[in-house]
Amino acid sequence: MRHWLFHYRREHLAGDLIAGAVVAMMMIPQGMAYALLVGLPPATGLYASLVPCAVYALIGTSSTQSVGPMAVISLMTGAALAPLAAPGSGLYLVLSAQLALLVGVCLLVCGLLRLGFLSQFFSRPVMSGFTNGAVLLIIWGQLQVACGGAVFAPHLPSLLLAACAVALLLAARRWGAAGLRALGLGAKAADIGARLAPMLVLLLSIAADLAGVFAGRGVALAGEVPRGLPALNLATSPAHWHALLQPAALIAFIVFVVSMSSAQALAIRRRETLLPDRELLGLGAANIGSALAGGFPVTGGLSRSAVNAAAGAHSQLASLVAVLLLGLALYAPTGWLALMPLPVLAATILVAVANMLEWGTLAAAWRYDRADALALLATFGGVLLLGVQSGVLIGVALSMATLIWRESRPHIAVLGRVAGTEHFRNVQRFAVETQPGVLLLRVDADLFFANTGAVTNRIEQELERHPATRHLVLVLSAVNGIDTSALFALEELNAALKARGIGLHFAEVKGPVMDRLRGSRLLAQLHGRIFLSTAMASTELGALANAH
């Protein structure tokens, strides 16, 4: 695949420029708000938006994915750092960057090992349960900030301010686009304009602050945004690094899952193919970039990426434009950003994440597949009761359990001959002819560790049902692979059947499967033969069995 930079098409430039500007204006309130969610000075969120976004644009495979701070990842980061340092302290800042470094290294190593398939460890219902649980935790936390400290004893000016901001943001979401259309904007421009409401609210609140509205009322402010990039500090105790390892692995996993699901949703609409291993490298480098900028773990989020695509982004240039604009904003005097009131940032988060809550997956899964719905609910409950990290593990365990359960019940059919033909079909569904001494079994799944027990058990059951069997033929027409566990199980089956005077035969073994079996002990010891077709096996073995 050629790099997008070297075959950039000029007609994409306008779209990319506009999308870049729009995303930059989204990034400022979002970055500051998600830094607050981590428990960091809002400024760090801007650096975590800047560097990773540029790094991903140069490496990642999705043309419209925008990488930066994201609500769920910020929640997980805060949960990982909370036991180690006080939020906002110097150590907390250092550890957040170190965590981003570890997350990046995890992703990079997985990418180099080509472990892109790992994003498949989460099923969608489990992801939905996980996200909903995390969002409720975020809402609970941000309600405290919106109330100026405690939900049940609110600081009234803070609460009032947050409530105004929430009302404004909700109003913008509901009527913003219609209002802008009424002002003469096109439908698409109006939609995008409405998305910039958080930036507007931010500017309004800063203006109010400058006008002295909050003076002496005790409303917490964002505080100084330092100019230029801070540096990564690697000097902490080994105990700290060790404590960050497991959270880093879990965060890296969720970073990848979240980013892939966002990128996948965009890719299918944009006729793109994603390369999961390259995505791992891109996200890994982005997180290392965030660490070097003194930021925190980041990922590709659907909300920002979707706006990027909707605003006309055709290529990764849009992200570079956004970074350039944000960088200019940070290089210019940034004192005004310090005036941003925290309750307004909390309101931004509340409105953004409330939008992420969705119960449609639960409803659909409940109707379609009750087991999936229960996995969703268990993950949701796990996140709420045991926290976001245990929630990831519960989700993976449940996804795997569904998978193993499915795989441990392979479809196996007893075959018979369609009279007068060379076709063989399931005896339970077709009127077919069978022979007393020959048992034909077709296994409709690859043979591997998760189903060897079930296959062995089923063979035993069928032998009990067909006590006259002298020849067992496994028809492997649907088997694309046999792993080491299944190979051993077949060796044991062969030995056991041999002791019982029953031949074990194979039919319709596929080429690649046969190639691997050729050097194995199984073929050397096989108490039976290998037939090209089921018909040949049936005819020859039937004659043998009758001769007895």
| Residues numbered 92-151 forming contacts with a second copy, rule: CB under 8 A | 115, 117-125
Sequence-distant (6+) residues with CB within 8 A of 324 are 20
**Helix, strand, or coil (residue 275):** coil
Binding mask 451-490 toward a second copy (x if CB under 8 A, else -) reads: x-x--xx--xx-xx-------------x-xx-xxx-xxx-
- The closest alpha carbon to 120, from 400, 383, 320, belongs to 400
Phi and psi of 426, rounded to 5°? -55, 125
Angle, vertex CA 164, rays to CA 162 and CA 165, nearest 5: 65
Give 56 or 122: the residue with its C-beta nearer to a second copy. 122
Give 224 or 460: the residue with its C-beta nearer to a second copy. 460
Give 167 or 386: the residue with its C-beta nearer to a second copy. 386
Other residues' Cβ atoms within 10 Å of the Cβ of residue 329: 18
Are 62 and 308 spatial neighbours (Cβ–Cβ below 8 Å)?
no
Per CB under 8 A, 256 contacts a second copy: no
Residues 201-240 that bind a second copy (CB under 8 A): none
Query: Binder to a second copy among 26, 248, 274, 439 (CB under 8 A)?
Result: 274
Give 44 or 123: the residue with its C-beta nearer to a second copy. 123
Distance CA 513, CA 327 (A): 56
Per CB under 8 A, 7 contacts a second copy: no
Tokens representing residue 332 in the block: 């210019």
Per CB under 8 A, 419 contacts a second copy: no
Shortest distance, position 256 Cβ to a second copy, whole Å: 12
**Helix, strand, or coil (residue 74):** helix
Query: Binder to a second copy among 216, 273, 419, 501 (CB under 8 A)?
Result: 273
Per CB under 8 A, 446 contacts a second copy: yes
Query: Binder to a second copy among 5, 109, 112, 401 (CB under 8 A)?
Result: 401
Residues 381-400 that bind a second copy (CB under 8 A): 399-400
Query: Binder to a second copy among 272, 278, 310, 536 (CB under 8 A)?
Result: 272
Shortest distance, position 125 Cβ to a second copy, whole Å: 5
Per CB under 8 A, 334 contacts a second copy: no
Query: Binder to a second copy among 144, 334, 389, 408 (CB under 8 A)?
Result: 408
Per CB under 8 A, 164 contacts a second copy: no
Tokens representing residue 470 in the block: 């002298």
C-alpha torsion angle, residues 147, 149, 153, 156 (rounded to 10): -40
**326 sits in which H/E element:** helix 317-331
Give 276 or 382: the residue with its C-beta nearer to a second copy. 276
Sequence-distant (6+) residues with CB within 8 A of 204 are 168
The stretch near a second copy (CB under 8 A) out of 159-167, 323-331, 415-423, 448-456 is: 448-456
Give 207 or 268: the residue with its C-beta nearer to a second copy. 268
Shortest distance, position 126 Cβ to a second copy, whole Å: 8
Per CB under 8 A, 242 contacts a second copy: no
Tokens representing residue 290 in the block: 């965030």
First to last CA, the chain: 64
Q: Which amino acid is at 89?
A: S
Give 115 or 160: the residue with its C-beta nearer to a second copy. 115
Give 203 or 403: the residue with its C-beta nearer to a second copy. 403
Residue whose structure tokens are 């105790």: 237
Q: Which amino acid is at 19?
A: A
The stretch near a second copy (CB under 8 A) out of 38-46, 145-153, 226-234, 262-270 is: 262-270
Per CB under 8 A, 402 contacts a second copy: yes
Residues 492-511 that bind a second copy (CB under 8 A): 492-493, 496, 499-500
Query: Binder to a second copy among 167, 187, 234, 404 (CB under 8 A)?
Result: 404
Give 94 or 487: the residue with its C-beta nearer to a second copy. 487
Are 527 and 496 spatial neighbours (Cβ–Cβ below 8 Å)?
no
Residues 76-95 that bind a second copy (CB under 8 A): none
Strand partners, 473: 440, 505
Buried b (16+ CB within 10 A) or exposed e, 403-441: eeeeeeebebbbbbbeeeeeebbebeeeebebbebbbbb
